[in-house]
Amino acid sequence: MTTSTAGAPGCIAVAFRGDVGQFHLDAAFTVPAAGLTAIFGPSGCGKTTVVRCIAGLQQLPGSFCAIDDEVWQDAAQFRPPHRRSIGYVFQEASLFPHLSVRRNLLYGAPRAPLAAGREVIGFDEVVSLLGLGALLERAPHNLSGGERQRVAIGRALLSQPRLLLMDEPLSALDQSARAEILPFLEKLHERLALPAFYISHDIAEIEQLADHLVLMERGKVIATGPLHELQSDPTLPLALAREAAVSLDADVEAYDSADALVTLRVGDSRLLVPAKPKVAGARQRLRIAASDVSLARIAPNGTSILNILPARIVSCSTIGPGERLVVVGLGTEGNGPRLLSRITHRSWDTLALAEGMAIFAQVKGVSLIAGSTAPG
């Protein structure tokens, strides 16, 4: 945790302390200034306050905030929000009702050219990325909830931010509008090298979008790190949850069109997953739930399960009266990416499993995120 007085290059470092309404906020973390960092925690744990402090909309004296080498707040200074290069997407779209979609989009567009070396996010690019072409001359009150939120995201991007802040942008939307926006957020993430914070209390959104994770609880940060690392840490609530899963970023290695199976490489392990045609070399995020992974001491044969991967037991924790959560590392040495497996006490005892033991992880289900969900 950094509370130094200078910004660290390539990092976003914050430390916010102070009384906020009902609780005491004490949130300090440093994350890379790249990719999407999700802030996750139960409602009312201070996530929104942290993001408002980063934006400068709320001021907690004695706090610190630095993006890359730019210090936005420390003991000596507080930069007002309009002088911070942020794009803020609020929970409700908050479009200006008196301006057309086009004028909303352009409201924050810089009137002077940007400093050299900063890539410009073009108007046409944003319009096509977010599918806004047909909406440009419309008034905000004639748009659906999903359309409004897309305009709000576009408006934030066109202010040419160095950091995008999104405060549960999907939570005010119904299921179909969410499904409409999530692919846009993913495209955004792929196409723009723009660091972003994304608040959510919906783990599915985080599994789909996040690279890094800040876990919060009652005003405190309880863990910070790469998503996959926190998901597979048995001391954190994520791994112990009923719907625990890990997200992995895989490379598409080959596609077998005869059987409609894609070969995905994660570390040194390979997974076969039924899927629509994929291009070799593409990146693919997958989700493997703890309940879809079982363990075997010897490689089983005569099974319908395609993915049986050598692995090593890293740790084991009790998660209920009859069950254990086992963390395994893929690869014969167990130093590859980690998976979670939920098994019964009886299986653990019957198989005489132990930490450090080489085993086989049988993966029954792999979800390809941003694509079809299918059993493996």
Partner 1 sequence: MLEISAEVWQAARLTLALAATTTVILLIVGTPLAWWLARSKAWWTEAVATVVALPLVLPPTVLGFYLLVALGPNGPGGWIAGAWGGRTLAFTFSGLVIGSVLYALPFVVQPIRNAFMAIGDRPLEVAATLRATPRRAFWTVAVPLARPGFLTGAVLGFAHTVGEFGLVLMIGGSIPGRTRVLSVAIYDFVEASRWYEANILAAGMVIFAFVVILAMTMIEKRSARLRP
Dihedral, CA atoms, 219, 10, 284, 158, nearest 10 degrees?
80
Provide, rounded to whole angstroms, the least separation between the CB of residue 46 and partner 1: 18
Provide, rounded to whole angstroms, the least separation between the CB of residue 228 and partner 1: 31
Q: Name residue 88's beta-bridge partners.
A: 165
Which helix H or strand E contains 222, and what residues bound it?
strand 220-226
Q: Of the two residues 83 and 356, which places its CB atom closer to partner 1 in the complex?
A: 83
Q: Of the two residues 155 and 342, which places its CB atom closer to partner 1 in the complex?
A: 155
Which helix H or strand E contains 311, and what residues bound it?
strand 307-318
Q: What single letter denotes the amino acid at residue 373?
A: T
Provide, rounded to whole angstroms, the least separation between the CB of residue 216 and partner 1: 22
Provide, rounded to whole angstroms, the least separation between the CB of residue 51 and partner 1: 11
Dihedral, CA atoms, 236, 241, 243, 247, nearest 10 degrees?
0
Dihedral, CA atoms, 222, 314, 271, 279, nearest 10 degrees?
40
Q: What single letter denotes the amino acid at residue 311?
A: A
The Cα 159–Cα 266 span in angstroms is 37
Q: Which residues contact 117 (CB under 8 A, 6 or more apart)?
A: none
Nearest CA among 139, 149, 144, 196 for reference residue 171: 149
Provide, rounded to whole angstroms, the least separation between the CB of residue 140 and partner 1: 6
220-226/196-200 β-pairing: unpaired
Provide, rounded to whole angstroms, the least separation between the CB of residue 157 and partner 1: 11
Q: Of the two residues 110 and 277, which places its CB atom closer to partner 1 in the complex?
A: 110
6-11 long-range contacts, CB within 8 A, separation 24+: 6/66, 6/69, 6/71, 7/66, 7/67, 7/68, 7/69, 7/70, 7/71, 8/66, 8/68, 8/69, 9/68, 9/69, 10/34, 10/68, 11/66, 11/68
Q: Which residues contact 152 (CB under 8 A, 6 or more apart)?
A: 89, 90, 93, 94, 95, 169
Q: Of the two residues 99 and 374, which places its CB atom closer to partner 1 in the complex?
A: 99
Provide, rounded to whole angstroms, the least separation between the CB of residue 143 and partner 1: 9
Q: Which residues contact 34 (CB under 8 A, 6 or more apart)?
A: 10, 193, 195, 211
Q: Of the two residues 87 and 336, which places its CB atom closer to partner 1 in the complex?
A: 87
Provide, rounded to whole angstroms, the least separation between the CB of residue 160 and partner 1: 9
The Cα 90–Cα 110 span in angstroms is 20
Provide, rounded to whole angstroms, the least separation between the CB of residue 63 and partner 1: 18
Provide, rounded to whole angstroms, the least separation between the CB of residue 18 and partner 1: 18
The Cα 89–Cα 153 span in angstroms is 6
Q: Of the two residues 168 and 233, which places its CB atom closer to partner 1 in the complex?
A: 168
Q: Of the two residues 85 and 171, which places its CB atom closer to partner 1 in the complex?
A: 85
Q: Which residues bind partner 1 (CB under 8 A)?
A: 55-57, 80-83, 85-88, 90, 92, 94, 96-98, 107-108, 110, 140-141, 155-156, 159, 165
Q: Of the two residues 46 and 56, which places its CB atom closer to partner 1 in the complex?
A: 56
Q: Of the two residues 1 and 96, which places its CB atom closer to partner 1 in the complex?
A: 96
Q: Of the two residues 49 and 232, which places its CB atom closer to partner 1 in the complex?
A: 49
Query: What are the tokens at 282?
Result: 């593409």
